[in-house]
Chain A
Amino acid sequence: MAFIPHTERDVAQMLAAIGVSSIEQLFEEIPANLRIKSLAGVPTALNEMEIGRLMSARAKADGRPLCFIGAGAYEHHIPSAVWAITTRGEFYSAYTPYQAEASQGTLQLLYEYQSMIASLTGMQVSNASLYDGASAVAEACLMAVRANRKSKSQRILVPTTVHPHYRKVAAATAGNQGLRFEEVPYCTAEGRTIVEALGKYDGQDISALVIQQPNFFGVLEDVDALTDWARARHIFVIAVVNPTSLAMLKPPGEWGANGVDIAVGDGQPLGVPLSSGGPYFGFIATRMEHVRQLPGRIVGRTVDLSGRSGFTLTLQAREQHIRRAKATSNICTNQGLLVTAATIYMSIMGPQGLERVAAASHARTRELVTALSRVKGVRTAFTSPCFHEAVLLFDRPIAPVLKSLEGHGVLGGLNLAEHYPELGPALLVCATETKTAEDIDAYARALTEAMKAARAA
């Protein structure tokens, strides 16, 4: 059955009401060359049973490999309660409700989420979420340009150590709005940005500096020095952070002498499963003085006419349904369902639970790096401290080695050849609390075999 509620009679009545004779006439203004003539490329429909079999077969083809790929999305254990509660009918919505204040439960959940993100990042205020980490970086750059009234240039410094996808999305989103992104090279021995590399910008008009911590290589940047350098020059600092790491590392609100201006990141590690790139969610938090430049929805706590506590959407004059073309952003929703899962995840884990996840992930990654760098032809790339990812350098091309590891049921990591060719054959690996000593051992043995096979070939 088709789930389309309009009968032919309904359609005829609606067309009559607006004075149009047919659907065809309604769409007349779309030029003929932009219309699809036939849907020949779309296969015939499958029924529920057939599609179920197809998807099961596809899922089986994935197998259950041991995954050591991080690079922006991380496999963490998700307590069963998280999605059991998230998928309850009362919560199961992808959006903020249209009659928002009628849904006090949803608003309270978003308010708790905002409070948790503010606490985790050490910032004063958070919105109700954005689409993902990459779009959060783009929104933060646009926000910095609006809020930094000491700068007119719209120039944003972005170190090469920031996630390559985030850099690409920021340029695609904000590039056409006049923002100019300038890459800051990193120290290839340490795998991080050094303050001296910023020296050439001294005295220039720069709107913002983006700092990712841990950076794309998993390495810890010298965030205090970078933040202080920028803020002393009236340059806004945008922190891009992994929420799990904040249980161990200094939050952006405390970087340098006075903290950063905007903190963003991808919320996926907080209870959202890996699923071919999404849907995930982004977070953004800032100082109270910049709240009117914050994009997206914000839930506030208030009292009703009888003085009872309640929740409401607030500061809506920033948003496009009121501010139209001058809104802070075209974001007019949030990632409701995933934020629900993240809020429940954070509630269940608590600060101590999150800290244990972070500490275990860090420890497993150190064990992994030790085990893998014992394999002939493999060594660590950088001397700097890292969180739960690291770069390994190989004495031969990575692609055939990864292919061979797949045969052993191991997803070995991300090949950096595409984005960082200057490193030579390099692999970004990650271990979280989900990996055991046996898993790490299995990877090391598979890698030994794969390298042997590669040398013999």
Chain B
Amino acid sequence: MSNVPADLKYTRTHEWVRDLKDGTVEIGITDHAQHALGDLVFVEVPEAGREVGAGEPCAVVESVKAASDVYAPIAGVVTAGNAQLAHTPELINQDAFGAGWMMRLRPTNAAMLSELMAPSEYEALLKAEGA
């Protein structure tokens, strides 16, 4: 069973969102997603200042098996990309919910956060997907 921290929000496309309580949120891919992808060899994160729409592809993760898009869970302006990932993409494999964060952004409408999946809903999704 994958690790699904209780203090985060989730998406159907396996991103997690942490409310940093300063008007910004932190975003990454879930432990389940990193496990499914396998060893990551390359990560491309968005630049600060980029505007992204909800559901828009805004980052790329490449493993030894495949390359996949990461979608913005919520619309907003990127405040930071995790520069560490350029040289150490394995941070996502090692610590998907911590050091492996991918971007921070300031949501256009913070109220939309409540629309995202709760941990219990995400767990149900993983179960339904047979994880």
Contacts and interface: CB of A to CB of B under 8 A. Distances in A.
B47 A322 contact: no
Contacts of A149: 47
Interface residues of A, number: 7
Interface string B61-89: 01000110100000000000000000000
B122 interface: no
Interface string A316-350: 01100011001000000000000000000000000
A302 to B, nearest CB: 12
Interface in A134-156: 149
Interface of B: 42, 44, 47, 62, 66-67, 69
A292 interface: yes
A149 B47 CA distance: 8
Contacts of A292: 42, 44, 62
| Most chain A CB neighbours (cut-off 10 Å) among B66, B67, B69 | B67
B47 A317 contact: no
B67 A323 contact: yes
Interface string A356-389: 0000000000000000000000000000000000
Given A317-B62, A318-B67, A322-B66, 8 more contacts: A149-B47, A317-B42, A317-B66, A317-B67, A322-B67, A323-B67, A326-B67, A326-B69
A21 to B, nearest CB: 40
A292 B67 CA distance: 11
A55 to B, nearest CB: 47
Nearest to A318: B67
Interface of A: 149, 292, 317-318, 322-323, 326
Nearest to B46: A149
The secondary-structure label for the interface of chain B is strand
Contacts of B42: 292, 317
A326 B61 CA distance: 13
Contacts of B62: 292, 317
A318 B42 CA distance: 11
Contacts of B66: 317, 322
Contacts of A323: 67
A322 B62 CA distance: 11
Q: Closest 8 CB pairs between A and B?
A: A317-B67, A317-B62, A323-B67, A149-B47, A292-B42, A322-B66, A317-B66, A322-B67
Nearest to A317: B67
Contacts of A318: 67
B47 to A, nearest CB: 6
Nearest to B41: A317
Contacts of B47: 149
14 contacts: A149-B47, A292-B42, A292-B44, A292-B62, A317-B42, A317-B62, A317-B66, A317-B67, A318-B67, A322-B66, A322-B67, A323-B67, A326-B67, A326-B69
Nearest to B50: A149
A250 B47 CA distance: 34
Nearest to B86: A289
A149 B59 CA distance: 13
B42 to A, nearest CB: 6
